[in-house]
Amino acid sequence: MDSTDIVKSSDITIRIGLDGQGVPVKMEWGASDRDGGALEECKAMVVALFDKEHRDTLRIDLWTKEMQVMEMDRFMYQILRSLSETYLRATQNKDMAEDMAKFAHHFGETTEVIPKK
């Protein structure tokens, strides 16, 4: 078997409910291989896709009206922290990953998501 052979696939569903002004009021997501594809509600999402042909990043950044600023701060802190981990796994560039992690920590402290040392 070749390393590029697909041995399993999963469909990811994202459902966005909009109000009359086109603002998200309800967001749900699910994956076909997770809990039978049942949709689960969320308040915010960030989806980034790297276009193979154009070598450009496509993004979907959405949040509901009920998302509070303190929740957005926590969401952004967790994303920044996980991006530094993802970058390290993908590139093995420890120095840059540590710089990213330091910024994530600074962001967390400044927004009071994590306590200041």
- SS3 assignment, position 66: coil
**Mind listing the pLDDT tens digit for each residue in 40-54?**
999 999 999 999 999
| Average confidence (pLDDT) over 53-74 | 96
Residue found by looking up tokens 């809990």 in the block:
35
- SS3 assignment, position 32: coil
- Check pLDDT > 80 for residue 1: no
- Check pLDDT > 70 for residue 26: yes
* pTM tops 0.85: yes
Q: Where are the domains positioned within the chain? A: 1-66, 68-111
Q: Which residue would you say has higher pLDDT here, 20 or 117?
A: 20
Q: Output the pLDDT for position 90.
A: 98
* DSSP string across 5-30: -------EEEEEEE-TTS-EEEEEEE
Residue found by looking up tokens 């997501």 in the block:
29
Sign (positive or negative) of CA dihedral 106, 58, 61, 36: negative
* Cβ within 8 Å of residue 75, ≥6 positions away: 44, 67
HSE-CB at 28 with a 13 A cutoff on CA atoms is 8
69-91 and 94-110 helices, crossing angle to 10°: 170
CA distance 64 to 42: 9
